[in-house]
Amino acid sequence: MSAVLYHGEPNGASLTVLAALAQSGLDIECRSIDLLAGERHALPDIADPIALDLCIEGEGPVLVIGGEAMTESVFLAQYFDEAADGAGLQPADAYARWEMMMWCRQITERLSPAAALLGNLATSQHAIAAIPADGFATLSARIVSDDLRQRWQALNDDVVDAAQVADSETKVTAAVERCEKQLSDGRDWLMGVFSIADLVTYSWLAGMQILRPDAFAAAPRTTAWLARTADQPCVTAALGRSTVSEPLRAWAPGPEINRWG
Amino acid sequence: MDAVTLYHWEPNANSGKPMLALMEKGVPFSSHYIDMLQFDQHKPEYLAINPQGTIPAMTHNADGQRRVLTESTAIMEYVNDRFDGPDLMPADAQDRWRVRWWMKFMDQWLGPSFSMIGWSVFVGPMVRQRDPAELAAAIDRIPLPERRVAWRKAINGDFSESEMAESRRRVGLGIAKLEEELGKRPYVGSNQYSLADINIFNSTYSLPLSQPDLAGKDKTPNIMRWLKRVYMRDAVKKTWAMGKTDLANRYGLIMAEIEA
């Protein structure tokens, strides 16, 4: 069956999935798309769009297999690992897998909306706000999800919510502290063995080193782990797909901030 | 000591997920009922098990260790991976992806909206009648700040009109998408009964009663056929027999309608 992975610059959700694909060794065609031009909302040949229309993580990559649009970076990473009959991205033990999934959920629910908000304000809000009104109307009309369209609209309107910025900075700091604690026993990888947890955490945290360096000032183990992860061949391969000089500065509207509890 | 102990509230939403998964797998477990409406989940005895004060939680004594597991969907995945019994995940990788996708859609997008409506019409009014000082003290004991906010809103009836409208929009859209999904295949995400069915059934088993304008025999025939299929399972009957509140009564009402 035909399979195509549509992805943005290797950062955030796209970085996780590109690295997992490289690790799996699967031969799947990758097509780079311009997320900030809204290209993710005009993909060809999609017969089953629900996972694209209602994707929770925002402008993440889309894997199209047999006309079905598949989304959510953690699950796509699991898909590649399992479709390759085990590429070493998920621990074999059930309890270790539970720990990995709990970790990934913490990252995708708490860190990734925060990182996406700070990243977009720093690097993409200006570009989105500069889209001419008629062009933006065309783009936003293609976005099926009302809540994702609102996140685009807030960037287009140049809205900055100081409380959200402060909350996001707190969440980035909390994620760094969590990593530092996890690595405190001297382990190389977050779950002991290299896993999807390293890919997901690196993908949302590495760009924060550039934008919020202070959050890493007292975190030598996390800083060393980020460098170690960047040197992994699958991560290097994913970053090598970049079409810009600094992919970790490339952001697009991300997951929504938890609306209740 | 029992190998598995489950700390849970009603067979409903999050608590019902690991209850039903254990029952489907045939794993014996010691049931420890946590009365959410009495704030049992924030009392020291329970915080000693799960310091976050969220339910459900499960302990498993194995390999010389006592493991504490939290988060209902992740507990279900552990139960399915760790114990013998029928496999509650499909074998095909794309089907597995779809099962996970639907569970996240419920846990993080649709579920919180069901929950906000449920708390505003059920949980809030149930606890609101208590002594305000006792309630304030109970809220102060909640470990997670975001849960404190949620409880305060539920108790005071502080959900804004725009929040409620957004939750209603999501519930309407979610039901429509589920109806569409169950028109494609007999179960959620795959052709076999899986963790996705357990997950979603726990938040939709009383839909024809709770959302009669959106769900029912005429409006959502695919959902009704699926509900009937799941209702008929022995593990489901046994799990809902463990309920103690009016929520379990709603199960009986729907069951009567289905069997009629």
Between vectors from CA A260 to CA B128 and to CA A72, what angle results, nearest 5°? 150
> What does the pLDDT look like over B191-238, one tens digit per residue?
999 999 999 999 999 999 989 999 999 999 999 999 999 999 999 999
Cite the residue boundaries of each domain of chain B with CATH code 3.40.30.10: 4-82
Supply the pLDDT for residue B147: 87
> What does the pLDDT look like over A97-149, one tens digit per residue?
999 999 999 999 999 999 999 999 999 999 999 999 999 999 999 999 999 99
Q: Is the pLDDT of residue B2 over 70?
A: no
- Quick one: pLDDT band at residue B156, thresholds 50, 70, 90? confident
> What does the pLDDT look like over A40-57, one tens digit per residue?
999 999 999 999 999 999
Supply the pLDDT for residue B151: 86
Q: Which residue has the higher pLDDT, B159 or B82?
A: B82
Q: Nearest by CB to A75, from B77, B97, B163: name it.
A: B97
CATH number of B4-82: 3.40.30.10
B140-146, Cβ contacts within 8 angstroms, sequence gap of 24 or more? B141/B39, B141/B42, B141/B43, B141/B53, B142/B42, B142/B53, B143/B42, B143/B47, B143/B51, B143/B52, B143/B53, B144/B52, B144/B53, B144/B54, B146/A258, B146/A261
How far is C-alpha B6 from the chain's CA centre? Answer: 14
Write out the two tokens for A21: 């694909």
Q: Which of A85, A84, A46 is closest to A62 using CA atoms?
A: A46
Residue numbers of A between 111 and 130 with CB closer than 8 Å to B: none
Flag whether residue A103 sits within 8 Å of chain B, measured between CB atoms: no
Task: Residue A105: list chain B partners with CB under 8 A.
Answer: 71, 74
Q: What is the mean pLDDT of residues B48-74?
A: 96
> Distance from A89 to chain B by nearest Cα, in Å?
15
Per DSSP bridges, beta strands B30-33 and B57-62 are unpaired
Run means of pLDDT, 10 residues per run, chain A, 261 residues = 94 98 98 97 97 96 98 98 97 97 96 97 94 96 96 93 95 98 98 98 98 98 98 98 98 86 51
Write out the two tokens for A17: 């999935």
Q: Nearest by CB to A101, from B77, B82, B93: name it.
A: B77
Sheet strand arrangement including A62-65? A29-32, A3-7, A62-65, A68-70
Beta-carbon count within 10 A of A112 CB:
28
> Distance from A245 to chain B by nearest Cα, in Å?
33
Is the bond leading into A10 cis (omega within 30 degrees of zero)? no
- Put simply, the answer to whether B180 touches A50 (Cβ < 8 Å) is yes
- Put simply, the answer to whether B93 touches A98 (Cβ < 8 Å) is no
Q: What is the mean pLDDT of chain B?
A: 93
Q: Nearest by CB to A65, from B78, B94, B115: name it.
A: B94
- The conformation of residue B233, written as its DSSP 8-state character, comes to -
Cite the residue boundaries of each domain of chain B with CATH code 1.20.1050.10: 93-259
> Distance from B200 to chain A by nearest Cα, in Å?
16
> Distance from B23 to chain A by nearest Cα, in Å?
19
Give the chain B residue whose CA is nearest to the CA of A83. B93
> Distance from B94 to chain A by nearest Cα, in Å?
7
The CATH fold of domain A94-232: Glutathione S-transferase Yfyf (Class Pi); Chain A, domain 2 (1.20.1050)
- Put simply, the answer to whether A75 touches B147 (Cβ < 8 Å) is no
Flag whether residue A3 sits within 8 Å of chain B, measured between CB atoms: no
Task: Residue A54: list chain B partners with CB under 8 A.
Answer: 105, 109, 173, 177
- Put simply, the answer to whether A261 touches B112 (Cβ < 8 Å) is yes
Interface A-B, measured as beta-carbon pairs within 8 A, has a size of 79
CATH number of B93-259: 1.20.1050.10
Side chain identity, residue B218: D
Flag whether residue A259 sits within 8 Å of chain B, measured between CB atoms: yes
- Put simply, the answer to whether A56 touches B105 (Cβ < 8 Å) is yes
- Put simply, the answer to whether B94 touches A95 (Cβ < 8 Å) is no
> Domain spans of chain A?
94-232
> Quick check: ipTM above 0.95?
yes
